[in-house]
Amino acid sequence: MALIETPAGQDITEALVERVRAATSSKTPLRITGGDTKCFYGRPVAGDTLALAGHHGVLRYDPAELVLTARGGTLLADIEALLARHGQQLPFEPPSFGPLATLGGTVAAGLAGPARIVRGPVRDYVLGARLLTGDGRVLKFGGEVMKNVAGYDVSRLLAGSLGILGVLLEVSLKVLPVARGTRTITRRIDAQDAIGLLGAAVQRGIPITGSFWSADILHVRLEGSPSGLDEVTSSVEGVLMDAQAAAAFWHSVREQTHPYFASSRPLWRLSLPATTAGAALSRTDRAAFEWNGAQAWLSGVDRQTIDLITRTAGGHATLFRRGDADDGTTGDVFAPLPAPMRDLHRAVKRVFDPDGILNPGRMYADF
């Protein structure tokens, strides 16, 4: 097996460096965009657009290495199609929220889909990155190997950083083979029982790679070899879903085109401990959950109710989509940081973007 030859794509590093340097000297804030598919996420940024879409192309991909390196503006759809041709995938199943989603935006947003519950977050698959900092330096961190402890792990720090530390020029990711088989089972069950059942199944080693619960219906996805699935499917109670319908269903969960997400009301994302999530979600009829309860959604609920839930249950909440409550104001969308953590964030931001020109305010108002 060898490196897969791919079209060269386009390298606009020099132009991007010049734009950033010019913005630094004129103290002009920049709003970094890839496909602009996730601009709803985080706080609004006022600034000139720095477009990465023209900086694209897969640089290296060798299926036997389980590593892919591509420029930040490469379309997520192109990467997923290339991987699929070799029986591989992005393990964290990122949502694209539109056909123009890019690799850079995917890593910067740090969002993962159903498989995150077993395979881990975006961060776990970032092996290296080439970064354009706010003061116009091009720096490379990490690499293209699985094990690497040379220097601080800056490339993983960039996962979910929402562009506030730099522009992702290139990213190297670990990829994994697609499972040999998959089955989806559905059943009627309330939230609390569903979370208990999923927790017990995981502890027994049942290979659950996706779970979604809403309106008292639980969908569970299992993956493994065909004979392995035969072995475990009988131990999960419920109705087996048609394979094609199941694939469409998980796509709708990942891309939030499932009817649960159709509401135009504000959508909150809650990260809750498994032991308290069930009780917390039974207080409302507007909830759905994924990741065996670790990620819950609440639609059309006010901030006071959210605060009450996270206070009682532990965990934290994000205003994922402002929906029809979006009045263009700049209220916080992420849970507030304790003062020493806020200071540390500001200090880390200054290391990479001393003049604060990259996506200022996207994560928190003051940096």
Partner 1 sequence: MAVDQELLSELGSVLGPGLLSAPAACVAYECDALTAHRHPPDLVALPTSVEQVQQIVRACHRHAVPVVARGSGTGLSGGALPVPGGLLLVLSRLNGILEIDPRRGIARVQPGVTNLAVSEAAAPYGLYYAPDPSSQVACSVGGNVAENSGGVHCLKYGLTVHNVLAVKLVTMTGELLTLGSETGEAPGLNLLAAVIGSEGLLGIVVEVTVRLLPVPRRVELLLAAFDDVGRCAEAVGQVIAAGIVPAGLEMMDAPAIKAAEAFAHCGYPLDAQALLLCEVDGLPADVDDELGRARAVLEAAGATSVRMAGDAEERRRMWSGRKSAFPAVGRLAPDYFCMDGTIPRRHLADVLAQIAALSKTYRLDVANVFHAGDGNLHPLILFDAGKDGELERAERFGADILEACVAAGGTVTGEHGVGVEKLGPMCSQFSSAELETFHALKLAFDPDGLLNPGKAVPTLARCADYGALRVHGGQLPHSHLPRF
Q: Is residue 11 a contact point for partner 1 (CB under 8 A)?
A: no
CB of 283 to partner 1, least distance (A): 19
Residues 17-36 binding partner 1 (CB under 8 A) are none
d(CA 78, CA 189): 38
Pick from 184, 305, 198, 314: which is nearest to 253 by CA? Answer: 184
Are 338 and 317 in contact, with CB atoms under 8 Å apart? no
Q: Which of 51, 279, 325, 335 binds partner 1 (CB under 8 A)?
A: 335
Comparing CB distances to partner 1, the nearer of 47 and 63 is: 63
> Helix (H, G, I), strand (E, B), or coil: what is residue 242?
coil
Q: Which of 255, 258, 261, 334 binds partner 1 (CB under 8 A)?
A: 334
Q: Which of 26, 27, 204, 239 binds partner 1 (CB under 8 A)?
A: 204
CB of 291 to partner 1, least distance (A): 8
Residues 267-286 binding partner 1 (CB under 8 A) are 271-275
Q: Is residue 149 a contact point for partner 1 (CB under 8 A)?
A: yes
The residue whose two tokens read 């964030």 is: 345
Structure tokens at 164: 């506030």
Comparing CB distances to partner 1, the nearer of 51 and 279 is: 279
Comparing CB distances to partner 1, the nearer of 53 and 333 is: 333
Residues 6+ apart with CB under 8 A from 278: 191, 192, 193, 194, 195, 196, 293
Q: Is residue 144 a contact point for partner 1 (CB under 8 A)?
A: yes
One-letter identity of residue 257: T
CB of 347 to partner 1, least distance (A): 4
Q: Is residue 140 a contact point for partner 1 (CB under 8 A)?
A: yes
d(CA 293, CA 212): 9
Residues 300-329 binding partner 1 (CB under 8 A) are 315-316, 318
Going by their DSSP bridges, the two strands 217-224 and 239-240 should be labelled as unpaired
